[in-house]
Amino acid sequence: MDDLVIFDFTSKSDLSNWKVVNDSVMGGESKSQFYLNDKGQGTFEGEISLENNGGFCSVKYNCNPVSLTLNKFFVVRLKGDHKQYQFRVKSNRNDSHSYVFPFKTSGEWQTITIPIEELYPAFRGQNLSIPHYDGSTLEEIAFLIGNKETESFKLLIESIKVQ
């Protein structure tokens, strides 16, 4: 089966369906941005602040609903900064909870392979007692950093696929 491309970053990529959501939605002071760098890579960078109960930055992508029931993995090509991030998905973009997979970046380009059935449900950092992600529908993908410390971060993304 061919890979299904969710998003492939190039210098001509349209980022209009990508949106930064920081802890400022609840009074925090963290700041981040998402843009294409000069190599056409999605660049998510910023500063995490713990002030005013803050502590996270995220960027999310709303996509047309797609079923992943025939797929087993998300495959993300990225380069981080030795920090831990979360890959998050939603079956319905209006759900309050997300399905989460934490991963640590190596500082080099790497391909993160995420088994779909390992994405666990969480809401505001709390695990939920509902089934793991089943891939029946995908409407949103997000990357989040929230390591409970003041830090700067930078994550480069080349592609997001499923296989």
Domain ranges of the chain: 4-162
**CA 121 to the chain's CA centroid:** 14
* Spatial CA neighbour of 138 closest among 42, 18, 20, 6: 6
Topology adopted by domain 4-162: Jelly Rolls (2.60.120)
Per-residue pLDDT band at 1 (split at 50, 70, 90): low
CB distance 61 to 76 below 8 Å: no
Q: Please give the model's pTM, rounded to 2 decimal places.
A: 0.96
pLDDT per position as a tens digit, 59-91: 999 999 999 988 999 999 999 999 999 999 999
Q: What does the mean pLDDT of the chain come to?
A: 96
Rounded to an integer, the average pLDDT of 99-112 is: 98
Picking from 24-28, 107-111, 150-154, which range would have the lowest pLDDT averaged per residue? Answer: 24-28
The letter for the amino acid at 92 is N
For the beta sheet containing 84-90, the strands, ordered from the edge strand earlier in sequence to the opposite edge, are 18-22, 57-66, 138-145, 84-90, 98-104, 120-123, 126-127
Return d(Cα 82, Cα 89) in angstroms, integer: 22
State the pLDDT at residue 25.
86
